[in-house]
Amino acid sequence: MGELGELVRQTADRLAEGQVGVVVVGIADGVVEIRGSGRAGGAAGGRPGADTLFEIGSVTKVFTSLALARAAVDGRVALDEPLADVLPAGSTVPGRGGSRITLQHLAMHTSGLPRLPKGMALKALLRPHAVDPYARCTAGTLLGGLARTKLKSEPGRTFRYSNLGAGLLGLALAHRAGTDYEQLVRQEVCAPLGLADTVVTVDAERARRLAQGHDPRRRPAAPWNLAALAGAGALRSTAADIAAFLQAQLGAAPDGTAEAIALTRRPEHRTSPFSWVHLGWMAHRLHPRHGGHLQVWHNGRTGGFASFAGFDPETGVAVGVLGNTSRDVDPPAADLLRRLQSGRKPGQGA
């Protein structure tokens, strides 16, 4: 086992102390290493591996934003197109200060929308690990609540993380494409990148590879599906697919998708002197004493799973983590990313 494989294995074993089961992806110098540790549980059985399915939670958002970028590159939507023009006719979208919510605002969490749909916040706070707290978020419920929502800030002005905004983006893009969210992601992202197991709906074959989720106390947790908010966090995926997705971020994407990936990292909204948000992705630059490297990332969590995807396009390294317990995986994942960046200079990657 080479150095990369050993670092990935060590990270998987470290994470397995808090996760029932976990799979870690490491990419450096064009090499991909995938290691699992712990138990997948459920029908998947023993140690999870490259083809074990996990809920990826909010990592879904970077797939939604890439679907937006694909449509924008092809001219089917515009980043500055008002949300109201893409939703079903008759939908009422709030504004503030004379500004309208655009698709770019939704992808960058600058829409001014609250984190959760109207009427849902209290339930989510009181029962954060309940059976799919988003289950009743039908399109009708979402759009009805949206019409009564007051924005927290003027669109485009302030970063305010919003599951509601990301879900509405997925809903709007699917409506414009005349399909549903799952088919939208399949057409715009999964098919071009060859991602065979990134899905919302789990069929009988994939069900045999689906990990069992667990709450923070390691008790079995029910799955989350997110209904019409699918664009915020409904995808399930495997380490093999996440590895391929990260490789595409590092330059291994086909024409068309490569242009869309570049577009996702073009708009920036600063959240601090050292951090910012792109279309879907968070980003920051480490302090010079820690190497000064760029990290582009997103994490996710549902009632029974946790995830992380991060990369550095300057040095060509990337890390993915999929865990089947609703406990934070970010510190070990970020530590592995820093270790892969260490000693590498910008332009050294694939």
CB 103 within 8 A of CB 280: no
Nearest to 340 by CA among 2, 41, 7: 7
CB 200 within 8 A of CB 182: yes
What separation, in Å, do the N-terminal and C-terminal C-alpha atoms of the chain show? Answer: 21
What does the radius of gyration of the chain's CA atoms come to, in whole angstroms? 19
Q: Residue 189 burial (CB < 10 Å; 0-12/13-18/19+)?
A: buried
The answer to whether position 253 is within a domain reads yes
CA distance 157 to 341: 33
Grouped pLDDT means (10 residues each) for the chain, 350 residues: 92 97 97 98 89 98 98 98 97 96 98 92 54 89 96 97 98 98 98 98 96 95 95 98 98 94 98 96 92 96 97 98 97 97 72
The answer to whether position 350 is within a domain reads no
* 3-state helix, strand and coil shares in percent for the chain, rounded to the nearest 5: 35, 20, 45
CB 221 within 8 A of CB 41: no
CA distance 295 to 286: 8
Q: Strand pairing partners for 147?
A: none
Number of domains in the chain: 1
pLDDT score, position 145: 95
Distances (CA, A) of 106 to 79, 118, 166, 215, 266: 10, 16, 6, 29, 15
Measured in degrees and rounded to the nearest 5, phi and psi for residue 198 equal: -100, 105
The answer to whether position 349 is within a domain reads no
The answer to whether position 252 is within a domain reads yes
Measured in degrees and rounded to the nearest 5, phi and psi for residue 148 equal: -105, 5
The answer to whether position 203 is within a domain reads yes
The answer to whether position 89 is within a domain reads yes
The answer to whether position 202 is within a domain reads yes
Distances (CA, A) of 43 to 125, 209, 219: 31, 7, 16
Residue type, position 205, single letter? E
Nearest to 68 by CA among 60, 57, 77: 77
CATH number at residue 259: 3.40.710.10
Angle at 60 between CA 74 and CA 124, to 5 degrees: 135
The answer to whether position 346 is within a domain reads no
CA distance 347 to 253: 18
Exposure string over 88-101, b if 16+ CB within 10 A, otherwise e: eeebebbebeebbb
Residue whose entry in the numeric block shows the structure tokens 């080479």: 2
Residue type, position 135, single letter? A
CA distance 221 to 207: 16
CA distance 49 to 195: 16
3-15 helix and 330-341 helix, angle to the nearest 10 degrees:
170
CA distance 285 to 315: 13
Domain that holds residue 186: 3-341
Q: Where are the beta strands (DSSP E) in 121-227?
A: none
Residue 142 CA, distance from chain mean position: 21
Residue 135 CA, distance from chain mean position: 19
Distances (CA, A) of 336 to 168, 310, 318: 33, 10, 9
